[in-house]
């Protein structure tokens, strides 16, 4: 049986008590470990005005990680295309692909990746998301060999045919990915509600394209593994604090785990966080394996995009290692 592909979404956390430089160093350390462990790709995402996430200059972060690794694919999960002109993104990712050939992915989202006030500071039109389908096609054209005679060229970028992905947390992205014949990544690690409906629509409506001859779906999941259930639950409190802070509108760095999460959040914050974190697998490999197996059977995912929100970088790497060992030693994945 073919093993499920494992990849990583690195949120480039800025830990409480550490610097942004520390966040970049931790991302490189995790990427190098992931490469040795056999992970397929590592993505970073565009977020703005968030003290806990350092990947605002997404293409720069991708270049930094790619420069410190050798084989693992590196990309955006994703670029929020309405914040940019397609030509600018074509040039940025054309540069990355020219520097690190055959290793760059470009996932595209239509959300702003920030709040409305910051959206205005980015000089982005609030209605720009309405142009997302057309912008995807324009970006794709800049990368195509057929576009080489057009008077406007992406240099670098023209003819490189960098693989595009559509990202989403609703049925809109699923239908767009299907219509364009592109691979699809669903953000079920924080937006669980439409997962199964979106995957079903994507597969039912998929139209083969030059890039993709069949549907290919990747799903995001939160996975925190440790040697004991108690330690895993303890490590997971960092992520739970961040979701509570999100509900409060509190802009804070990524916090260290705590012994009693119940004393940190309110009832409403807990309900919100537990809903958003529905697809989370926290525990030992032995406790997580059957639950993850069931999830994969239900989604029929081609690839898992793993979010490992652990404060301590060594414990994060240990979790990634335990996951690979769990998959490799099992005959059910």
What tokens does 170 get?
Answer: 């609703």
Domain region containing 266: 216-333
Q: What is the DSSP letter of 123?
A: T
Q: How many domains does the chain have?
A: 2
| Residue from 183, 191, 147, 140 nearest 165 by CA | 183
What is the pTM (predicted TM-score) of this model? Answer: 0.95
Question: Do 68 and 134 share a domain, yes or no?
Answer: yes
pLDDT tens digits along 171-200: 999 999 999 999 999 999 999 999 999 999
Question: Do 19 and 145 share a domain, yes or no?
Answer: yes
Question: The domain spanning residue 145 has which CATH number?
Answer: 3.20.20.30
Q: Give me the sign of the Cα torsion angle 82, 86, 92, 96.
A: positive
Question: 283 in the Ramachandran plot: left (φ > 0), alpha (ψ -120 to 50) or beta?
Answer: left
Question: Do 30 and 151 share a domain, yes or no?
Answer: yes
pLDDT tens digits along 52-104: 999 999 999 999 999 999 999 999 999 999 999 999 999 999 999 999 999 99
Name, in order, each residue with C-beta under 8 angstroms of 143's C-beta and a sequence gap of 6 or more: 90, 94, 154, 157, 158, 159, 160, 161, 162, 164
Integer Cα distance of 69 and 75 in angstroms: 13
| DSSP element (H, E) containing 188 | none
| Residue from 264, 270, 240, 254 nearest 313 by CA | 254
| Residue from 327, 299, 113 nearest 221 by CA | 299
């Amino acid at each position: 049986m073919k093993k499920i592909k494992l990849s990583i979404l690195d949120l480039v956390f800025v830990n409480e008590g550490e610097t942004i430089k520390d966040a970049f160093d931790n991302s490189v350390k995790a990427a190098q470990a992931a490469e040795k462990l056999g992970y397929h790709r590592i993505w970073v995402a565009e977020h703005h005005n968030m003290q806990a996430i350092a990947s605002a200059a997404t293409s720069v972060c991708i270049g930094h990680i790619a420069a410190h690794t050798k084989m693992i694919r590196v990309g955006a999960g994703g670029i929020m295309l309405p914040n940019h002109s397609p030509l600018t993104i074509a040039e940025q990712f054309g540069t990355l692909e020219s520097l690190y050939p055959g290793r760059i992915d470009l996932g595209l989202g239509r959300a702003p990746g920030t709040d409305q006030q910051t959206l205005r500071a980015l000089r982005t039109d609030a209605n720009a998301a309405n142009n997302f389908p057309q912008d995807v096609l324009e970006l794709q054209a800049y990368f195509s060999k057929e576009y080489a005679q057009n008077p406007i060229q992406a240099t670098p970028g023209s003819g490189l045919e960098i693989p595009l992905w559509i990202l989403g947390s609703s049925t809109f992205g699923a239908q767009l990915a299907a219509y364009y014949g592109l691979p699809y990544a669903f953000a079920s690690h924080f937006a669980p509600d439409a997962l199964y409906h979106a995957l079903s629509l994507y597969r039912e409506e998929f139209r083969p394209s030059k890039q993709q001859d069949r549907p290919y779906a990747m799903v995001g999941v939160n996975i925190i593994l440790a040697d004991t259930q108690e330690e895993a639950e303890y490590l997971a409190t960092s992520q739970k604090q961040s979701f509570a802070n999100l509900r409060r509108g509190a802009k804070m760095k990524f916090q260290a785990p705590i012994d009693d999460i119940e004393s940190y959040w309110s009832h409403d914050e807990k309900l919100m966080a537990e809903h958003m974190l529905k697809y989370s697998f926290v525990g030992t490999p032995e406790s997580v394996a059957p639950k993850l197996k069931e999830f994969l059977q239900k989604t029929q995912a081609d690839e898992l995009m793993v979010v490992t929100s652990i404060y301590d970088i060594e414990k994060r790497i240990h979790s990634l290692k335990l996951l690979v060992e769990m998959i490799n030693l099992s005959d059910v994945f």
